[in-house]
């Protein structure tokens, strides 16, 4: 009860306030530029900063290379899809096992080839080139794990 009585006096309120203000840190938000859409050419410029053999395949379709692996990006209204096509045959059972165990990338068989894809959404709220690089790095890591796992069993 005594301590409460001390805080009722003006000098202790001021001291408490000063102590509180000096102990809190100031957090400054860093603004990040994001875009809600990318043209094919903007995507090419971004990809050329980090990846090799960047080529336009069509409207909002771009191919590039990482470590001798070819990838594609296909844009759509709410985001984009990163694709990787493997010529290594794999059974449906093995594809299903991969999809049950791994979150990224998803695997399926199309045109007698194994296709891995990862969809990236977020264009409505905005993306920047760092988001694109992180998504591609995640996809590339998944492809490396996939390529190593295909030899198991």
The 10s digit of each residue's pLDDT in 8-47 is 555 544 544 444 445 544 555 566 777 777 888 988 999 9
Mean pLDDT in residue range 95-123: 86
**pLDDT value at residue 153:** 52
Burial letters for 26-53: b for 16+ Cβ neighbours within 10 Å, e otherwise?
Answer: eeeeeeeeeeeebebeebbebbeeebee
Global pTM value: 0.72
User: What interhelical angle do 129-149 and 40-48 show, nearest 10?
Assistant: 70
Stronger pLDDT, 65 or 12, i.e. the higher one? 65
CB atoms within 10 A of CB 104: 17
- Contact 75/63 with Cβ under 8 angstroms? no
């Amino acid at each position: 009860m005594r301590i409460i009585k001390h805080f009722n006096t003006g000098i202790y309120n001021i001291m408490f306030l000063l102590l509180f203000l000096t102990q809190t840190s100031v957090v400054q938000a860093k603004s990040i530029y994001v875009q809600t859409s990318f043209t094919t050419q903007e995507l090419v410029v971004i990809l050329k900063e980090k990846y090799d053999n960047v080529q336009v395949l069509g409207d909002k379709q771009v191919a590039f290379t990482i470590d001798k692996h070819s990838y594609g990006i296909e844009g759509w209204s709410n985001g984009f899809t990163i694709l990787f096509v493997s010529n290594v045959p794999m059974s449906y059972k093995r594809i299903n096992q991969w999809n049950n165990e791994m979150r990224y990338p998803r695997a399926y068989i199309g045109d007698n080839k194994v296709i891995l894809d990862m969809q990236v959404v977020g264009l409505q709220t905005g993306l920047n080139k760092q988001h694109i690089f992180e998504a591609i790095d995640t996809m590339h890591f998944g492809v490396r794990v996939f390529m190593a796992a295909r030899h198991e069993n």
